[in-house]
A and B are shown apart, each in its own frame.
Chain A
Amino acid sequence: MPTLDGKRAAVACIHIPNFMWQVESLRRPDQAGKPAIIVGETGANAGKGAQSVLDWSPDLGTKFTRGMPLSEALADARKDVTLLEPDIPLYRRTFGEVLTSLEARCPDVEPDTESAESYGLGRAYVGIWGLDRLYGDDAQVVRALSNAVNQFDARIGVGENKWLAYIAASASSSGRGLKITGEPGRFLAKLPVELLPIDFKLVTRLHGFGLHTMGDIAALPPGAMQAQFGNDGTLVSDLSNGIDHRPLVSRRTEETVSEYLEFPDATASMAMILPAIESLLFRAYTRPQLARRYAREAKLEASVLRRSPWTMRVAFKEPAGSRTKALFSIKSKLDDLALPGPIEDMRLTLSGLTGEAGMQESLWTEVRRDQKLQEAVSQLEARLGTTPPVYQVRELEPWSRIPERRHALVQLSP
């Protein structure tokens, strides 16, 4: 990855292993040091009730993988292991704070969203080329990054590209950085193929062909790998040779306004929840960031008593510039939803902030009005499951001397 000034690029990878568990142990100090597995629904099993492993404490060893069925994990786990319910909104918020803290040191920060099984949490890449003038050498840069995540047990690696930086971070020890220089192939040669970011089935196939280390793969011509494994073969061959063309894409920061409150007692009553939302909206709309501005989306997050947190996202059809408009949309969505249980607190986040006050009106207002009406009837039909009793007045014989024959109500057909 060459840079504009012709030098080789340097990318740092900040890897926080077992990130979810680390957040949990910060939140619950009594759990720190005890074996624990964080369990939830993930991937294709989401919503089907099948529980699988999301994260675990490091003292349980390396025999677990993310997405592993809980039953399988419990068969391998110690008897004193604690099962924890995930708090994904908290993990996301905490990781967002980590990214912001890294951005304060280096502007180019990219969260690794490819690690989908861990919700894209716990790993980030930082472009550190050109920072030696600010911090000194690479070691000083690594120290600055390490300070940004000092509340976590983080591993930091530096390499020419994202892949090498990740491998360096995986191989480094706690609190120390590792930099891969010279020929990356020699460093990678002894590493097992399990470290490659590929499907578990492909790993098994590689073993079947006698390819146990990255050195085994690098020794083969890329064409042979491609012929046998297709696109995955090319990827595996490139990575085993230390080649990674993926660019570093900095995170898009989004301005949001967030407000939070706690209920005196856990409640599932809308009579309590709606005034709470109204109060949060009032506080949010009186913030200077929202003065004469509009929000396009609202997100509600709540901790549910003895259950996983609840999240609801409301996209406003038209940007909401006041709490009454925002509340109307949120209420409409809440009417169709059932809360999973009594909630203990609530966080409201308004995002998609815009200064656009005007709305684009249609030149053909009649056509637009008819379209809106047809859309409303279609939505009603979908909700009721039958033709809604919506009529329009039609002229039949307006010239007739008999009044009841002049007009009639006819079914409105979209």
Chain B
Amino acid sequence: MVPNPGTKARARAIKPLNAPAPVTVSADERGTPLSVSYGNRANEVAAIEDMWKINDEWWRGPDKEIDRVYFHARLADGRPVTLFHDLAVDEWFRQ
């Protein structure tokens, strides 16, 4: 039996849209993604169409600093995807 968590339904909470989802990325030595895995499937990156960097809120300290490198990539099957490498924690996310 599933125990009652004792928490209220969070219908009234604000839900951020377009929240980052962690993915596994293999990248070359320059940090450019070569393939990205999500949904139990590896997808090869065919082309990087755009790239930009965000460095913000550094004044809040190393734990809360936002330091991301964004890639707008096109996968081998033609689908577009936006990825970023979070340099603060060294992890990849899809957004």
Contact = CB atoms under 8 A, between A and B. Distances in A.
Interface of A: 386-389, 391, 393, 401-411
Q: Is chain A's interface secondary structure helix, strand, loop, or mixed overall?
A: mixed
What size tier do the contact residues of chain B reach? 10 to 19
Interface in B33-82: 54, 56, 66
B18 A403 contact: yes
B11 to A, nearest CB: 5
B2 interface: no
Contact of B17 (A386, A389, A401, A404): A404
Interface string B9-45: 1011111111110000000000000000000000000
Contacts of A409: 14-17
Contact of B15 (A388, A391, A401): A391
Contacts of A405: 16
Contacts of A386: 9, 11
A383 to B, nearest CB: 15
Nearest to A412: B11
7 contacts: A404-B19, A405-B16, A406-B18, A407-B18, A409-B17, A410-B14, A411-B12
Contacts of A389: 9, 11
B16 A404 contact: yes
Contact of A404 (B9, B12, B13, B18): B18
A401 B14 contact: no
A404 B56 CA distance: 14
Contacts of B12: 387, 411
Contacts of B18: 403-404, 406-407
A246 B95 CA distance: 78
A387 B95 CA distance: 30
Q: Which 9 A-B pairs have the closest CB atoms?
A: A409-B15, A407-B17, A387-B11, A411-B12, A404-B16, A408-B14, A404-B19, A403-B18, A389-B11
Given A402-B66, A404-B95, A393 B11 contact: no
A411 B11 contact: yes
A410 B17 CA distance: 10
Contacts of B20: 404
Contacts of B16: 404-405, 407-409
A407 B19 CA distance: 10
